[in-house]
Amino acid sequence: MSDIHRVGIVGCGLMGSGIADVCARAGLDVRVAVTSGASMNRGRQRLLRSLDGGLRKATITETERSEALERVSFTCDLYDLGDRQIVFEAVPEHEPTKLDLFRTLDKIVEDPDAILASNTSSIPIIRMARATERPGQVVGVHFFNPVPVMPLVELIGSLLTEDEPLARAEAFVTGTLGKQVIRSSDRGGFVVNALLIPYLLSAIRMVETGFATADVIDKGMVLGCSHPMGPLRLADLIGLDTVASIADALYGEFREQQYAPPPILLRMVEGGLLGKKTGRGFHVYS
């Protein structure tokens, strides 16, 4: 088991609330920092829905749900994360925002051995490490959505990350949170998204050119390739804004056409058609 007991999380969207859920279920003291009272209310509701999902699936009991909720506190002041032993960044996939946050966390978190962890799905960890005065303590800890359900976490060390915090992060994720880890080199997209995003973009281009509909593509990959979910429905689940952001980051790193976001994807994001979270993307959700 890990020696980490006090967890900080910045952001309480889909990923932040999921990380809060698994940490609280593991018996940890969890403090979530958000930007406003409205964000706090939305974050609490996401956490409740996440825990209620566990209750419905019988992965937790009513008592465990209540105890997990009691372990999570919310704040609008980043300075309240000063005593945390690990802080997870789970803000939107926007590099300037993440860099500003790491500069601030570097000043706030008191323990010099504390781990500053990014849940980024595409941005190289070394960029966030360089924004701090403790680059050796900065690691990538990339969870997958939905966090309580998906067993995998990608662990990424930059060229500046020290061995000890990377080992502590892996012990925490595997021993305390019960996840499985794969290690990745510090390059855009890491292992999973470097493979996944070109596949999703290829499916989106098929729709854009009129070659096939979203229903046909998804049915083909589910029934023909035994995928649990088709690529367009998966893109909707991830969030089309997130898919576009990851694609932008990958294209910026590699300058290869397979990573370039198709125009239809950009127009859908501009129009607020972000997938399941907004009720409409390549499919319609009630």
Angle at Cα 75 formed by Cα 170 and Cα 238, nearest 5°? 55
**Given 17, 50, 89, 142, which residue is catalytic?**
142
**Given 2, 121, 184, 245, which residue is catalytic?**
121
Say whether 145 is catalytic: no
Q: 77 with 229: CB under 8 angstroms? A: no
Distances 61 to 24, 50, 51, 57, 276 between C-alpha atoms, Å: 14, 13, 10, 10, 28
Say whether 193 is catalytic: yes
Buried b (16+ CB within 10 A) or exposed e, 62-92: eebbeebeebbebeeebebbbebbbbbbbbe
d(CA 164, CA 187): 21
Helix (H, G, I), strand (E, B) or coil at 24: helix
Give the position of tokens 């930059």.
158
**Given 17, 50, 118, 193, which residue is catalytic?**
193
**Given 89, 154, 184, 245, which residue is catalytic?**
154
Reference 145, options 248, 235, 258; nearest CA is 235
d(CA 57, CA 79): 36
d(CA 96, CA 140): 17
d(CA 168, CA 283): 41
- Helices 263-270 and 240-254: crossing angle in degrees, nearest 10, is 140
The residues that are catalytic are: 121, 142, 154, 193
